[in-house]
């Protein structure tokens, strides 16, 4: 690999995460030698701006990935399984945003603020975690490292961005129709979206009662945090927010610590911004999390339901398209060239 100025390819460049990948590379002044953009046949011929120039969007082929040093994939599991091995065969390191390789024991699953060292163990593919797992891990890891976490209970409030650009468009259109008194039939998500919330639309396991999103988050958090037996209970809900996921976390620690001490631990951790103003009732909100890379953490308090005093409650919010996807992938790429 050309460590100083790699050639970079983006697979899935026209999607919601793909366009954020391009923006992140530009905004962070990533020192690349060249950038090539790939998507499906229907996007071929489009041009996307990067550093003042229009770059053509090419049809993805195995041979087209030859010459890339780093390939950032954000095109779904089937595309990743079909093309990532070919990119690796051509000499690229793949950072994949899909779920295709996340639980492969030979593929590191990386949140740089948590387990940057795992990058060195890659064999050509590095997995970008689920967006909820990334946002939760950034907030949980400092407490786990400092005190130890023995249990996590979580409820998520997941934005339309987690289901892609089409779901974001459906939320906009459904909201406009609702306010105008017009009927609107959802086509992207199963349920009406405007002024509504519903369980994350993934298949429910009959034995556990957990849906696919909940299962992914549990498995991935355990892998990222190297805590394979950590008890985690989670309920994932889709809410009518365009972008930025929020999570209510209740964390049982190995020993009691005051909320003020937890706040200090979190405030000193990378990737976190404390938003915890009780007097102003100002806590993490998705509209303030959107468009920036920090995970906002607040409402840090004792969990009154735990008589042992070892549990804390907190609320976090993070941009699903940035820290939950594109930014995390670019941060991984940055570590590859250090």
Tell me the pLDDT tens digit for each residue of 33-88. Answer: 999 999 988 887 899 999 999 999 999 999 999 999 999 999 999 999 999 999 99
**Range with lowest mean pLDDT among 3-12, 81-90, 180-189, 274-283:** 3-12
Residue-wise DSSP of 155-182: EEEE-GGGG-HHHHHHHHHHHHHHHHT-
CB 242 within 8 A of CB 173: no
Query: 286: which 2 tokens?
Result: 């998705």
CB 296 within 8 A of CB 271: no
What residues are annotated to the active site?
Answer: 131, 245
Whats the size of the chain, residue-wise? Answer: 338
pLDDT interval class at 2 (50, 70, 90): very low
Taking 50 as the threshold, does the pLDDT of residue 137 lie above it? yes
103-129 pLDDT per residue, tens: 999 999 999 999 999 999 999 999 999
Query: 79: which 2 tokens?
Result: 């595309």
Query: Domain residues of the chain, as ranges?
Result: 7-129+325-336, 133-320
Strands, DSSP E only, in the chain? 7-11, 34-39, 47-50, 53-59, 70-73, 93-96, 125-127, 149-158, 198-199, 232-238, 245-253, 272-274, 295-302, 311-318
133-320: CATH number = 3.30.360.10
7-129+325-336: CATH number = 3.40.50.720
DSSP 204: B
Distance CA 115, CA 88 (A): 22
- The pLDDT, as a whole number, for residue 1 is 46
- The pLDDT, as a whole number, for residue 4 is 78
Query: 99: which 2 tokens?
Result: 């779920």
Q: State the Rg of the chain over Cα.
A: 20
Q: Are strands 70-73 and 7-11 parallel, antiparallel or unpaired?
A: parallel
């Amino acid at each position: 690999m050309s460590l100083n100025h790699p050639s970079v390819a983006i697979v899935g460049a026209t999607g919601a995460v793909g366009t954020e990948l391009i923006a992140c590379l530009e905004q962070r002044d990533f020192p690349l030698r060249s950038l090539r953009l790939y998507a499906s046949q229907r996007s071929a011929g489009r041009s996307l701006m990067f550093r003042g120039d229009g770059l053509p969007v090419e049809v993805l082929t195995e041979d087209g990935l030859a010459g890339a040093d780093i390939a950032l994939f954000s095109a779904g599991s089937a595309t990743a399984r079909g093309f990532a091995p070919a990119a690796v065969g051509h000499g690229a390191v793949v950072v994949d945003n899909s779920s295709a390789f996340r639980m492969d024991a030979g593929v590191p699953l990386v949140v740089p603020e948590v387990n940057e060292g795992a990058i060195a163990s890659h064999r050509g593919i590095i997995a970008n975690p689920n967006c909820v797992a990334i946002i939760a891990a950034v907030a949980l890891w400092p407490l786990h490292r400092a005190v130890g976490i023995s249990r996590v209970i979580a409820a998520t409030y997941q934005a339309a961005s987690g289901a892609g650009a089409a779901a974001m468009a459906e939320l906009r259109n459904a909201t406009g129709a609702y306010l105008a008194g017009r009927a609107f039939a959802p086509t992207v998500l199963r349920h009406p979206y405007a002024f509504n919330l519903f369980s994350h639309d993934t298949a429910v396991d009959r034995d556990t009662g957990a849906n696919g999103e909940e299962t992914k988050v549990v498995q991935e958090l355990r892998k990222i945090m190297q805590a394979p037996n950590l008890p985690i209970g989670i309920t994932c809900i889709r809410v009518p927010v365009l972008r930025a996921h929020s999570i209510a976390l209740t964390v049982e620690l190995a020993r009691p610590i005051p909320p003020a001490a937890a706040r200090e631990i979190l405030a000193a951790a990378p990737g976190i911004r404390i938003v915890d103003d009780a007097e102003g009732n100002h806590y993490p909100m998705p509209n303030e999390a959107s468009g920036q890379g920090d995970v906002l953490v607040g409402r840090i308090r004792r969990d009154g339901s735990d008589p042992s005093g070892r549990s804390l409650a907190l609320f976090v919010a993070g941009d699903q398209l940035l820290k939950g996807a594109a930014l995390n992938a670019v941060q991984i790429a940055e570590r590859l060239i250090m």
